[in-house]
Amino acid sequence: MTDVTNEPTTDAPAEASTETRAARKVREGTVVSNGMDKTAVVAVVDRVRHAKYNKFVLQTKRLYAHDETNDVNVGDKVRVMETRPLSKKKRWRITEVLERAK
């Protein structure tokens, strides 16, 4: 008789650890406010084509971004990345400062 056990083998690869995270949105913009604690307001300007007149128009979107170290100032060019909701309006975080204000 053979000894049969119901223990799983250790040769199988771990399936749960191979999941990859989806690509997150990345935007570049200018800091327009830093009065809040650990939060900066970043204005992102996009060029979009007008539906009727086919002319490019500028659209500005204000994003609330998490700034852990409070080191950005008004006028800085920054790169922000989408993240999980951190508060009611804050869904972005500052990943790097591209250019400091003069």
Look at residues 56, 52, 97, 99 and name the one whose alpha carbon lies nearest to residue 79: 97
Contact 26, 79 (CB under 8 A): yes
pLDDT for 72: 96
Token representation of residue 41 = 């307001």
Q: Whole-prediction pTM value? A: 0.76
Half-sphere exposure (Cβ direction) of 43: Cα atoms closer than 13 Å? 12
pLDDT for 6: 64
Top-confidence residue, 97 or 7 = 97
Q: At 18, is the pLDDT very low, low, confident or very high (cuts 50, 70, 90)?
A: confident
pLDDT value at 54 more than 80: yes
* Domains within the chain, CATH numbers bracketed: 24-99 (2.40.50.140)
Q: What angle do CA 38, 77, 43 make, to 5 degrees?
A: 70
pLDDT for 91: 97
